[in-house]
A and B are shown apart, each in its own frame.
Chain A
Amino acid sequence: MSRLFRAVGARAVVRRSVRDERRPEHSRTRAVPGARRIRRTSALGTAVIATVALLALTPGTAAAATVPGATPTPTPTSADIRTSDQRIDVRGGPGVPGTVSLDTTLYLPATTPAPAVLVAHGFGGSKRSVDTDARQLADRGYVVLTWSSRGFGASGGQIALDSPDHEVADAEQLVDWLAQRPEVKQDGPGDPRVGVTGGSYGGALSLLLAGYDRRIDALAPVITWNDLSQALFPNAGGPTDLPEDTPARGTFGGDGVFKRGWAGVFFSSGSSSTGPGAGATGDDAGSSGSTNGTGSTNGTGTSGSSTTGSTDGSGAGGSGDAASGGSGSGGSTGSGSADTSTTGGTDPGASRSGSGSADTSTTGDGTASGTASGNSTTGGTDDLASALGARTGGGLPASAVPPNAPPVTCGRFAAEVCAAYTEAATTGRLSPATEALLRRSSPVSVTDRITAPTLIVQGEQDTLFGLDQADANARQIAAHGTPVKLAWYAGGHDGGAPGQAVRDQIGEWFDFHLRGTGEDPGASFSYEVESGIRAGRTTTTSRTVGADAYPGLSGAAPVTTQALSLEGGPQVVANPAGGNPAAITSLPGLGGALGSLGSRLSAFTADLPGQSALFTGPALTSQTDVAGAPRIDVTVSRMPGQPAAEEAVLFAKTYEVGRDGLRQLLGNAVAPVRVAVPADGSPARVSITLPGVVAPIEVGNRLVVSISTTDQGFASPAEPAVWRIGLAEGATLDVPVVPGRAVTTSTVPVWPLVGIGVVLLLSLVAWLVAGALRRRREVPPAGAADAPPLEINGLAKTYKGGFSAVKEVSFTVRPGMVLGLLGPNGAGKTTVLRMLMGLISPTAGSIRAFGEPVGPGAPVLARIGAFVEGPGFLPHLSGADNLRLYWAATGRPTEEAHLEEALEIAGLGESVHRRVGTYSQGMRQRLAIAQAMLGLPELLVLDEPTNGLDPPQIHAMRELLRRYAEGGRTVLVSSHLLAEVEQTCTHVVVMHHGRVVADGTVDDIIAGGGAASFGVDAPDRAVEVLAALEGVRDVAADGRLVHAELNGTPRASAVQALVAAGISVESAGPRRRLEDAFLQLVGEDTAP
């Protein structure tokens, strides 16, 4: 849908960043206006315009590159949409001989027959600009027909401005065509089930078609007009008070003030539409300015190609240029144009030349003077603007314009439309003929005939077709009982295209009214409130408020208003000669980003000194969301002796002024008023309807009404005038408020809620199951009372990567043992101990402690105290706190900890109250051993306990361990030091390469079965003596040592025998078989 609304120049909007997924198109749209639209200038204005033009430049060129080519798709559309392009010839209509060929595209959904929807494009666009919208609708299951309106795109003909005889008749013939298609669901012969939608120009066409063709079954016009004469020549002032029924009822007083800024943009985008073949996509009016690239982009990018491109027979020969619009509106229509264009397309060569500069060059003289506004600076501005706009096209060679060609300023406009515009732009007044023409092109002429359900979407940031236009459409259509639903969104010709939410609303509207599916959207009303606060990209800054009905519509209660008393005495305002300098409030056609720039500019330029009368309201005591058009009654009178015309042209607007003086022009909009002022100096009372806006007003902020004499966007009189403006008797500012509730997409979405429940439930179930499994596993087979403290069987551990640290280890530790686990580094001792602590799981085999299996978290671990692989403490806590918290973590009673004894064992003295982080390695070691002894566990496991200890400490440690084991406790010590084990342990297990290589008591292993060694002075004799002793065998001499297996004979007896034999014995002791064995094992690995 995005292109549907291209009308709206929607660049990423700075001011209103809305959660992006809701309106993806923001980022995409584009349109940059030619700078030249701003024709009026003051010193300030010039500077401002220059800036704007510069700003416009970059995105403009970018747009030229991107817009026509790729069609960005905001949401994926399914691939099974088939499209077919065809040209459909329609009757030319009055004044147009023969037929006009329309360029159309038919989109077929996956399943047919289906209801059809006509999607009309905006002003300056073509069927291609609504491609995405068409696809989205086709995705919803509709047959969609898009076409380039006559005078646009590749269609022939001239722009007749939604004339009933031309464009509307064309659309009727398209409905006829749809009636012949088998893919379209038919209500009856020649009557297809069809809806129509479109933005701006296309929106008006939707309404007009629905008025003229009763076969239309539903319609959704978007940001369009009710009465073009009122939109372009608004007069918000009237002598009498309007009925208070709908929130945004406009005064629609006759003889309005020419909205030349927008009119110029509008006209220029028509005249600049490129000829067929040139491939411009334009946009419609609003954006028109923009996309069309208009002015500037077109000029730059396409001038070359367009000259050639226009050869197409159909000819339209658009010409080109938006510039003409700019200048045209400047009043100088006639000249402004430069553009050329051979309307008829007869002369390809002549068609379009670069517009921009053409503009200026031809315009030149003459023009400026012709301006209705009498703004003398016009020409200059244009020049400047065009120069800045970088339009490269050159002017037309004079010879290129054939003598009898239609005015080159008319572009592809039909002659009467062009003439009407020229007249309006030059005189600044609405002639009866022009009014008649505009009214024929306006839905107001047919709204009493529309019977199809109508969804009216209007933008809140729209100085072209304001909320009053939608209000009028709604009132007039609903007056005859036709269901009407209104939606105001934060966007419009000055803002952005509708977001996905609005597009979905349109889709749902058709779903219900064309297909009968979905919920009845009813006749409710919603409006979007935007705070105007700049916030992060992902922060929502708008909310949608819904009401059950549009107030005052078809029997609904009228709108409620809040009357605010105003302060401010009569004030004198002056209209400068030439109406210049003029206040700048908005920059027509700039669209979103730059439009919002306009809103910032307006803070400085919206009220010029001496030109405005201000009336201040009270500080609000509660948050108020203005929704609609506030009203105020003022009096206007002459000042004696001061110049004044017969009638005053004034511009009324509403500001919100914050407590800090921050001023914001609501809607960036002004309401022009033309009021006749009595010549006798008596005041004229005028009731002014201020622009319809949606604006949240914070507590403490004030509303201020400004009545001023100039506005850049309108043709204000050139004659100098001075007016005295005061509040009418008892006048208040009547602010409409539409109570409603915030529309939330769905209050609490069911599925996510269910999802949360399911996830939580699943988690709970998983938790319980895991707990139950654990408990079942944990039920420990009660160990037999006499089970050994540790029993290891066939233990093996292979780490990830295949390294086998432990293989087939089996040994048993019995109560009272001090068992040494001896082995060189890497023998697998620590791995065994880790498995013993449940830190790692064995690959095979089992460990049982006190008869219970040991595994991760096994309760029996509580009976084991361990110190493995160095200390582990919380460095930020003291030693004492570490032990205390560690014990607390076991969950066992404090009195079982024997903390004092443990601390005593650690022997840290006062250091025990220092942070562990400050300890030396030895201190940590001792503290860790103390921690292992907390609770005096039945099995104490210590891994290299003497590492880092001083020799006296090592000695004490040995004592400690030995004593610990007294009385049935058991100690398991691992070490790679033989002496250590030998001196401390009662039993030893020797490991090497992950296997147990020896196992037994230290005595056994050291002494064997009584093997002893004797150092003697006469080994040979000693051998004889010993061999002679009873039971002694395996006697052998080894240097001065004699080894013998005593086999029960006490060593003392052997010594005695030796001494008796006269041999001096230097030493006698067990033969060191352990050491031998150990050294032998270790030697394999460590010998150099």
Chain B
Amino acid sequence: MTKQPKEHESRADWLHRDARYADPSTRKGHVGLLAADGSPASSYRANRTLPLRVELVRQLRRRRTQVTFALVALLPVILWIAFSLTGDDSPGTSVNLVDLAKGSGTNFAVFALFATAGFLLVVVVALFFGDTVASEASWSSLRYLLAAPVPRARLLRQKAIVAGLLSFAALLLLPVTALIVGTLAYGTGDLVSPTGESLGYWAAAGRALLGGVYVAVNLLWVAGLALLLSVSTDAPLGAVGGAVMTSIVSQILDQITALEDLRNYLPTHYANAWSDLLASRIDWGDMTRGAFGSITWAAVLFALAAWRFHRKDITS
């Protein structure tokens, strides 16, 4: 049944067109040698699979991740250019947020956060979470990870943690770069909040970053939803778009004052509560409520995602 080694080697030339692998006997020797190696798989430990570092590298080397971070980092610069292009408003009209933004670096950072929290950052979070499993499924690499085997719960957890890290980094990168750009462009003046209070530069910088943290907590529900959609579909676009769309619908519903208290249960209802941070005395009320709502939504959605992924037949 077995053919002569001689013949095999000559036929197998395609395997080593590269001169470095040209020695057939080496190859043969290796295969044969390894056959006697015993059971190398004994070194497998489920809790060592898909280390965060590996998943991080997998994600960071994606163009998508790089573009997202570049965009978030460049946005303050774009805003600054836009502000520079528009002339000064004629005095006499009342002050708006854009006027405020030009007041100081911290105001600029706060404005950048205001401008992006409602949509851009939602997209960023939805992208990082919605893309996790669905993109692996669309590349078919998911089944090889699962057969490695990476236990499903662990795979989802590691991917969620990495998506969370990336999202959090992007959410903090925005205020940080906005602070840097704003400070270079508009100086270290006091922050003037929309309620007319002033805060010193360093305190305000801290608040802006804290605002970024709140936005991150508030967007947990988007993360949960995107992850749930991600394990439910093989189309990354569907998962990302679905989460963003839900956020928009929630924001629209939030505008319908006739819904009264029902709106308090909308996950986006307290999205702007972080602006309470811009006061000398912080009202934690809405932020606590917002965090509670978001965490509750997120817990439910993450649990659903885990449950669904655990039971799902991977047919992609």
List chain A positions with a Cβ less than 8 A from chain B.
Answer: 15, 20-21, 24, 27, 75-76, 529-543, 599-600, 603-604, 622-623, 625, 658, 660-664, 696, 698-700, 741-742, 744-749, 752-753, 755-756, 759-760, 762-763, 766, 770-771, 774, 778, 799, 834, 837-841, 856-859, 861-864, 866, 868-877, 881, 885-886, 888-893, 896, 898, 901, 903-907, 909-910, 931, 935-938, 950, 952-953, 955-956, 959-960, 962-964, 966-969, 986
Between A and B, 10 residue pairs with Cβ closer than 8 Å are A531-B95, A532-B95, A533-B95, A541-B194, A747-B285, A748-B285, A763-B302, A840-B314, A872-B144, A891-B44
Which residues from A are CB-within-8-Å of B284?
744, 747-749
Which residues from A are CB-within-8-Å of B153?
770-771, 774, 857
Whether A747 lies near B283 (C-beta < 8 A) is yes
Which residues from B are CB-within-8-Å of A956?
8, 11-15
A254 to chain B, nearest CB (A): 36
Which residues from B are CB-within-8-Å of A938?
39, 41
Whether A533 lies near B96 (C-beta < 8 A) is yes
CA distance A230 to B45 in the complex (A): 87
Whether A964 lies near B283 (C-beta < 8 A) is no
A45 to chain B, nearest CB (A): 17
Given A533-B100, A756-B295, verify A660-B40 contact (CB < 8 Å): no
- Name, among B39, B46, B61, B94, the residue most crowded by chain A CB atoms within 10 Å (CB to CB): B94
Whether A742 lies near B283 (C-beta < 8 A) is yes
Given A543-B197, A622-B198, A956-B15, verify A861-B149 contact (CB < 8 Å): yes
CA distance A967 to B38 in the complex (A): 10
A1024 to chain B, nearest CB (A): 34
B96 to chain A, nearest CB (A): 4
Whether A539 lies near B92 (C-beta < 8 A) is no
Given A874-B58, A876-B61, A904-B21, verify A963-B31 contact (CB < 8 Å): yes
Which residues from B are CB-within-8-Å of A536?
97, 114, 272
CA distance A393 to B138 in the complex (A): 72
Q: 7 closest pairs, A vs B, by CB?
A: A967-B35, A531-B196, A872-B140, A891-B48, A696-B196, A623-B198, A857-B151
Which residues from B are CB-within-8-Å of A749?
284-285, 288-289
B155 to chain A, nearest CB (A): 8
A1078 to chain B, nearest CB (A): 20
Contacts of B250-280 to chain A: CB distance below 8 A: 254-255, 257, 260, 263, 271-272, 275-276, 279-280
Whether A872 lies near B315 (C-beta < 8 A) is no
Q: Is B308 an interface residue (CB 8 A)?
A: no
> Other than the known A534-B95, A623-B197, what 6 A-B pairs have Cβ atoms closer than 8 Å?
A533-B95, A603-B91, A763-B302, A838-B147, A857-B149, A937-B41
Whether B196 lies near A901 (C-beta < 8 A) is no
Whether A753 lies near B288 (C-beta < 8 A) is yes
Whether A27 lies near B283 (C-beta < 8 A) is no
Whether A766 lies near B313 (C-beta < 8 A) is no
A199 to chain B, nearest CB (A): 22
Q: Is B299 an interface residue (CB 8 A)?
A: yes
Contacts of B158-216 to chain A: CB distance below 8 A: 189-190, 192-198
Whether B148 lies near A530 (C-beta < 8 A) is no
CA distance A967 to B39 in the complex (A): 12
Whether A600 lies near B37 (C-beta < 8 A) is no
Given A742-B279, A752-B292, A862-B149, verify A535-B96 contact (CB < 8 Å): yes
Residue in A753, A841, A936, A950 whose CB lies within 8 Å of B34: A936
Whether A540 lies near B146 (C-beta < 8 A) is no
CA distance A1006 to B55 in the complex (A): 48
Which residues from B are CB-within-8-Å of A664?
94
Residue in A748, A760, A868, A892 whose CB lies within 8 Å of B295: A760
Which residues from B are CB-within-8-Å of A759?
292, 295-296, 299
Which residues from A are CB-within-8-Å of B276?
540
B43 to chain A, nearest CB (A): 5
Which residues from B are CB-within-8-Å of A910?
18
Whether B275 lies near A540 (C-beta < 8 A) is yes
Q: Is B36 an interface residue (CB 8 A)?
A: yes
Whether A532 lies near B190 (C-beta < 8 A) is no
B193 to chain A, nearest CB (A): 7
Which residues from A are CB-within-8-Å of B280?
742
- Name, among A760, A834, A874, the residue most crowded by chain B CB atoms within 10 Å (CB to CB): A874
In the complex, what residue of chain B is closest to A862 when comparing beta carbons?
B44
Whether B147 lies near A864 (C-beta < 8 A) is yes
Which residues from A are CB-within-8-Å of B154?
857
Given A857-B150, A959-B11, verify A863-B296 contact (CB < 8 Å): no
Q: Mark B277-305, 1 if CB is under 8 A from A, else 0.
A: 00111111100110111011001001100
Whether B94 lies near A892 (C-beta < 8 A) is no
B104 to chain A, nearest CB (A): 10
CA distance A753 to B286 in the complex (A): 11
Which residues from A are CB-within-8-Å of B143?
834, 837, 839, 868-869, 872
CA distance A299 to B275 in the complex (A): 45
Which residues from A are CB-within-8-Å of B310?
856
Q: Is B84 an interface residue (CB 8 A)?
A: no
Which residues from A are CB-within-8-Å of B292?
752-753, 755-756, 759
In the complex, what residue of chain A is closest to B31 when comparing beta carbons?
A963
Residue in B3, B96, B145 whose CB lies within 8 Å of A889: B145
Q: Is B93 an interface residue (CB 8 A)?
A: yes
CA distance A745 to B14 in the complex (A): 76
CA distance A1043 to B50 in the complex (A): 58
Q: Mark B103-147, 1 if CB is under 8 A from A, else 0.
A: 000000000001000000000000000000000000111111111
Residue in B41, B55, B257 whose CB lies within 8 Å of A935: B41
Q: Is B249 an interface residue (CB 8 A)?
A: no
Whether B190 lies near A877 (C-beta < 8 A) is no
CA distance A529 to B198 in the complex (A): 12
CA distance A960 to B32 in the complex (A): 11
A762 to chain B, nearest CB (A): 7
Which residues from B are CB-within-8-Å of A541?
194-196
In the complex, what residue of chain A is closest to B22 when comparing beta carbons?
A904
In the complex, what residue of chain B is closest to A659 when comparing beta carbons?
B103
Which residues from B are CB-within-8-Å of A840?
313-315
Given A532-B94, A535-B194, A756-B288, verify A27-B313 contact (CB < 8 Å): no
Which residues from B are CB-within-8-Å of A892?
40-41, 43-44, 48
Whether B50 lies near A603 (C-beta < 8 A) is no
A28 to chain B, nearest CB (A): 9
B12 to chain A, nearest CB (A): 4
Whether A936 lies near B37 (C-beta < 8 A) is yes
CA distance A1013 to B160 in the complex (A): 63
Which residues from A are CB-within-8-Å of B194?
531, 533, 535, 539-541
A991 to chain B, nearest CB (A): 19
In the complex, what residue of chain B is closest to A604 when comparing beta carbons?
B92
CA distance A892 to B284 in the complex (A): 47
Given A876-B63, A891-B51, verify A766-B303 contact (CB < 8 Å): yes
A862 to chain B, nearest CB (A): 4
Q: Is B233 an interface residue (CB 8 A)?
A: no
Q: Is B1 an interface residue (CB 8 A)?
A: yes
Which residues from A are CB-within-8-Å of B281?
741-742, 744
Whether B2 lies near A962 (C-beta < 8 A) is yes
Q: Is B49 an interface residue (CB 8 A)?
A: yes
B278 to chain A, nearest CB (A): 9
Given A535-B97, A535-B194, A959-B8, verify A890-B148 contact (CB < 8 Å): yes
Whether A889 lies near B50 (C-beta < 8 A) is yes
B29 to chain A, nearest CB (A): 10
Whether B195 lies near A542 (C-beta < 8 A) is yes
Which residues from A are CB-within-8-Å of B35?
936, 966-969
Whether A953 lies near B14 (C-beta < 8 A) is yes
CA distance A748 to B97 in the complex (A): 28
Q: Is B57 an interface residue (CB 8 A)?
A: yes
CA distance A67 to B272 in the complex (A): 33
In the complex, what residue of chain B is closest to A926 when comparing beta carbons?
B15
Whether A936 lies near B40 (C-beta < 8 A) is yes
